[in-house]
Each structure stands twice: as C-alpha cells, then as structure tokens.
Structure 1
C-alpha cells in the first residue's frame, strides 16, 4: 500500500534560479474549489468497478502502510456531490447562463484542463470517470489536447509547468521512509503542484529534525501535517493500492516490505514439497 492515486492542481511554477516553488497561479487559489473537486469524486465506485476491490479510498497523504504515522481519525473527502455544489456556490462559481456548467466568480467561462496519462485498460475509463464526476457538480473539465498523454509527454508537461495543464492525475509511491518532504517541500522540484505554505514548511522541517528521532514527537508532527493537507487540498488522495502476493507456507524469510534489506539469498523453503490445502 505504498502507492496511491492523487489528482493534483497546478498552483504555480518552479523557479530554477531560486530553486523554489512559486505559487502564483490564481486559478486554484480558492481552497473551496479544490475541496469541491475532492468531494465530487466517488472513489468507492472507482475501487469497486475499475479495480475490483484491490484498491480502496484514500483518506490522507500518509497511507496505512505506515501504521505508526497514518492518522486514521482523518476521514478525508468521502463522496458528497451536494457538499461540492455548496462549496462551489460559496466560492462564487455559479451557472450564469443556464447551460449546466459553472462560470468563474467574475461570470466568465471556466474550463479546467485535465492531464491524464495513457497506458493500460483502466486509464481512459478512469479519466472519463473523474471528468464526469466533476461535470455532475457543474465543472467543465476537458482533456489537455483532447486526449490522454503518453508517459514522456505527461511528465514533460508536469515538470515544466505547461500552462495548458490545470489538473493532472498520477500514481505516486511513498518510498520506505514516511517523510513527505521530497514531494511537498518548498525547495523540492518534485512538488509538482507547486503548493507552498508556511505551516507546511514548519511541519516538514520538524518532521526530519533532531527532535524527530523521538517517534511520538514525529507522529504528532505528521498527524498535524496530514490535517493541514486535508484542509488545504493541493492534491486529492483518491485510492490506496493493495498488492497481493501468493506465497506458500513452506517459504521462509520472505517479505513484501519495500523497506526490508532482505535479498533472495535470504529466502528459503522448509520442505521439498509445497503445502497444499486439505
């Protein structure tokens, strides 16, 4: 469960000279818009229909594969289209001309350009599902260039902050350490949403400080960080991924933990014949 899906909004750009993210894109500055987009997605239906129950709704940006740090008290954004509509109304996104799609707070046409990656049987239906969820609450969402992007083009546009991209969806791995700085730090190029926030800076620094050798201290810091990200929603955690391995009972010293230093020379069997169900 170290990998999960997360649509993200583009909030700015990477300043290569200063080596920092700059949050200067006004389109998604209102967090009620970001929250509404999160409430509009029916993650349980995606998990059931497209992934046959092998993925399940995500609640925070620290997955339960880090049981010491995942804050299970945070319920995330469960599917609630009426709440999404309410938030959009409050933020000033209303259907002015009666075509079923919302205009921006200034009454102008509002279109969200969505970048999704091609590959696999699920890529296209998943992208269409997200777009339909957002359309159901009145948001006009269109694919960038009218189609799914292949892998290299996708990351080229994301990394270079292509102005055509407003929202992008990808799957991400957390690595073996819980520290989220590498994906959300102010001075990290891989913070592709370009979200910056002083409280975020403070918590991320505390999370890998000397004090963080105290596990309870670090747990509290990352609990606070998860709550901050849940409130601000620069990215939307949608699904955690479960990985299933079939391992016979005679196999010894095998683990699926990516943080393990186990090598194949450490794995063995306890009998010549595999155990079978009686």
Structure 2
C-alpha cells in the first residue's frame, strides 16, 4: 500500500516559514501577552524559545485578510487532561485527542471511511511481505521551539513506547513490532522504517501516537518520563496549536501555530483555543447555554433536549467506541452453561434499556464490534432478540426449573438461579442497568441481586485472577479502531487481569489468532462475522449498548466536524462567526 502525497490544503498562497536561528521579535498587529513560564528549569529553558518561534512565525506568516480568522473558542469538559501532552505515558481519551489534533502530530490519521491517510508522514510504503513500514516525513514541520521535525523524533518516540521501562499504557499495541532500537531504522533525515511481523491493521497505532521531540526528551530516562514537566507544565509540540499555559484542574490554553504547513490547512482560524475543566455536568450545561463556553464535551442524555430546545446551541450526536456490558463469571455454577447465558440475553429487553437509560441516544450492542466499524455487517450476524418465552424454554432445557414455587429456578441439586450483579458506586447508568435486569429477569425465574461496590474494590474483585469475586459485573470498554479481543476472551489469557469471564472456547481461540494476522480487510471481514456469531452463541458478556457521544456546540462556532475519530478532529478548522465575537 502506497499512500499518495497530500495536495495543497484549504488555504493557498501564503509563504511558508523558513526557520533558522530564532530571535525574539514583536508580533505584527496586537501583541499578545508573553506566556507564563513555570519555575521549573526545563520550562525556563524551552519556553523562551517557543516565544521566539511564535513571534518570528507571526512576522513571516501574517494573518490573512479573512473574517474567519481570530477569536477564542472554549471547550468545557468534566475532567483534566491526564498526563497532558506526553504521548509516551498517556491513555486518557481527551488528552490523547489533544496530542493527535491540537498540540502534536501523528504519522497518519484516518479519513471518514477509517482509511489511513498521510499526516506528518507525507508518504507511506509497506513491504510486499508486510514485515516493515517506511514513513517519508514532511519537511515543512517544525517543533514549536523552531527545531525541525525529523526521523530522529520518530525513532526516539518508537523506542520510548516500546521500552518496558516507560510503562506505555497501551504496550500491547506493539507486541507484533520489533521492540526498541532494533525495530526502527533511520534511512535519512526524513525517512524512517519500522520492522514488524505481518499482522492486522498494523498502521493503526501510528494514527494515535503523537510524535515527541527527541532533542528535548532524548536524555530523559524512560522511567522518569511520566513525571517530567514536559507533559503538563511546558509541552512543546509541532501541531496546529502551540501550548500557552496550564492551570491544574482549571484550564489549558493553546494559541494558533502561524507556521503550520499550508498543505495541511495552514494557520488555524482561531487565535486561541481553551480547554476548561468543569467538574459538574449541570454547570457545564449552564455555561454552554449562557455562551460562556462554545463546546460541552460529554453531554448527559437527559440534558440533550435542553440543548436542542435552545436557539443558540446544537447537539452533535455520533456513536461512541465504548460499549456497556455485563461480564459473566463462567467459573460460577449458575453461569457455567452457555445456554443459561443465552437465556439471560433473551430475557433482557435491551431496546427498552437504551430508551430508558439513554433516551434513545445509543445502539444495542450484539458483540464487541461497533456498528459503525468496517468489521461489522449486521446482515451476517445471528443476533439474540428479546424473547422471554424462548428464554424460559432454554432454561428448562439446561435443567433449571422452579421446583419449590418461589419464582426462582433451581437445578436438580436445589441450587437457586440467583446471581449478584456488581456495579461501581456513583455510576447511575450502570446502577440502572442492574436494576432493570433485576426486574426483567425475574419474569423468567432468574433472581438478580444488584450490588454497589466502591470503584477500587470492584477493580480488585474482577481484575485479580486469584480472586474473581463476582457473578456478573456492569462495566464499560472502549475499543480501538484496531479491534482486538485477545486479552478478553482467548483461553491463553485466562489468568490475565481482563479475562473476567473465564470462558474457554476453541473456536474463539482460533478466530482471535487468525484475526490477529489478517492483513487484508476483505478477508478480515469474513473472520469478524464468524467470530461475532461464535461470541454471540457463547455469551461471555451480555452486550448492552454502544452509547452515543453527545456534544453541545454553540451556534457561533462554525466548521465543526466530530465523529468516531474524535471530538477535536477538526479543531484547527473551527472558527467563530465574526458577527458573534
């Protein structure tokens, strides 16, 4: 596969900045306030260089005479950007999104069809035997302190995330790549080759991994990267927005990069973008409706109508990559038989649950594959639909009948079909799932006992292989575009933390291995359909729903595109309606 070189972007005709030795210069037009510099030696060294870079970039690239340029957009969300812009240690969704689309650059990104396309790499070459991938980098990308982005940065980043001392949160992404310095080859200043074994969706990790500056972090021991001030006090990126300041648990401030490559869109329209931490959803809604923020990320379903009813706001609604499920512990007698687990699925009205809990803002889940994903083909999947009569018959077949007339089924030994379903304290949606299940399954003779547990205790109960202290647990799981259920359902992983169900199915084992090596998507689609049907038959989880991701957006913010790829996908193209500034 050979990706074509990007063509010129949405704005043409402005001179690219050539960055050599930088000196601090005053900006043309209104001069911004000098950025604050934390009292940390690293920050005191790097941020003045960033200030100089931005000043020179503004002179070399004046703001075009276009009314869309200018203004500040504010996004509010409930949580901090954990680990900030340090792509080597961060797994937080919002932080990773800022690394991808705001402050850093990834080698590739995805188009609307989830097909890879160039970004920092202007061309990608894949070996015929799929054992290496070569990235040809753009030569017009500079770190925000003026240093050019080169193959050294890509090689450094790769070595860091594949080094176990770094404790990269998603280390399993790199299992099929040659680790460390042996896995990366610098061909020239702007060409780097990564070595690997053939496997499915091998470009996907390079979509989400922000490249880091070797000249700033190359001497930092990997085990010290997580605490390094680069992440949250003075990150230096190479993306469309330059870090300006951060106040912990309050806000992040970014400003437009005047020298962002023209072929990628050039300078963002916004002068500034601010991420505000607002811990209460009620406050977030109020801030949006009073136009104190332009974007509310993470709208609750019961708030959606207020946004729809307001003349100055819009609701963005797209399927998320998270599914909510009840994980069954098949080690328990009551849940060991797949027929019982299938009967429970038949006795649960998931459509009603989506309507009741999500006000319809969600899609019933039948497997771990999101409905929007290329691997999902509804016409080839044998789904389990709500059918309490069939559920009762299946329980009878499995030997569970109500022998004493108390409304709860028992087996031949008199063991009741009574199961506890745990959920974490403070999560109302998961509590609602457990309680609705309790009501619905009582109709088919299954007793469900909802049990609330503090989060840390719950994780210990389910993740500790020697413990597995649960019958069922309501949880959520976020899938990557590169789907991989190995840690969840392969029998080789049964003693690993995420093998909650404890099911062992040879067909699932075989298909997961084959899926891991299916390089061709057409072949993979066949395997995914087969895998999902086996998974539905086995029912290690009762898959409930993929909730929609709801975003409130002020009508004054234009050019907003959000979908499964991210909330911040088009941040560099956002602009404020000039009449509303």
**How would you bin the TM-score normalised by the shorter chain?**
0.7 to 0.9
Residue of 179, 192, 208 corresponding to 2:484: 179
CA distance, structure 2, for counterparts of residue 270 and residue 113 of structure 1: 51
CA distance, structure 2, for counterparts of residue 176 and residue 184 of structure 1: 18
Counterpart secondary structure, 1:219: helix
Counterpart secondary structure, 2:551: coil
CA distance, structure 2, for counterparts of residue 213 and residue 257 of structure 1: 22
- Structural mapping, 1:228-267, within 5 Å: 228-247=534-553, 251-252=558-559, 254-258=561-565, 264=571, 266-267=572-573
Tell which structure's C-alpha radius of gyration is larger.
2
1:227 is matched with which residue?
533
Counterpart secondary structure, 1:99: coil
Contact 2:323 2:543 in 1 (8 A): yes
Report deviation, 1:101.
0.9
Contact 1:60 1:70 in 2 (8 A): no
Contact 1:5 1:240 in 2 (8 A): yes
Report deviation, 1:75.
5.0
Report deviation, 1:267.
3.6
Report deviation, 1:63.
1.3
Contact 1:47 1:57 in 2 (8 A): yes
Could you tell which deviates more after superposition, 33-42 or 182-191? 182-191
2:524 is matched with which residue?
218
- Structural mapping, 1:43-82, within 5 Å: 43-66=350-373, 68-73=374-379, 74=381, 76-82=383-389
Q: Is 1:126 matched up with 2:430?
A: no
Counterpart secondary structure, 1:176: coil
Contact 1:113 1:164 in 2 (8 A): no
With structure 2 as the length reference, what TM-score do the two structures score?
0.41
CA distance, structure 2, for counterparts of residue 261 and residue 163 of structure 1: 38
- After superposition, the C-alpha distances for 1:96-144 in whole angstroms (9 at most, x for unaligned) are 111111112333333212212222443433321111222111012223x
More strand by share: 2
2:225 is matched with which residue?
none
Q: Structure 1 unaligned runs (5+)?
A: 13-24
1:15 is matched with which residue?
none
Report deviation, 1:245.
3.0
CA distance, structure 1, for counterparts of residue 431 and residue 508 of structure 2: 34
Contact 1:43 1:56 in 2 (8 A): no
CA distance, structure 2, for counterparts of residue 186 and residue 273 of structure 1: 60
1:199 is matched with which residue?
507
Mark the CA change 1:27 to 1:127 in structure 2 (over 3 Å): closer, same or farther. closer
- After superposition, the C-alpha distances for 1:77-107 in whole angstroms (9 at most, x for unaligned) are 2211111111101111001111111112333
Mark the CA change 1:250 to 1:112 in structure 2 (over 3 Å): closer, same or farther. closer
2:516 is matched with which residue?
208
Mark the CA change 1:200 to 1:259 in structure 2 (over 3 Å): closer, same or farther. farther
With structure 1 as the length reference, what TM-score do the two structures score?
0.82
Mark the CA change 1:261 to 1:201 in structure 2 (over 3 Å): closer, same or farther. farther
Q: How many residues align?
A: 256
Q: Is 1:154 matched up with 2:458?
A: yes
> Greater relative contact order (Cα 8 A, min sep 6): structure 1 or 2?
1
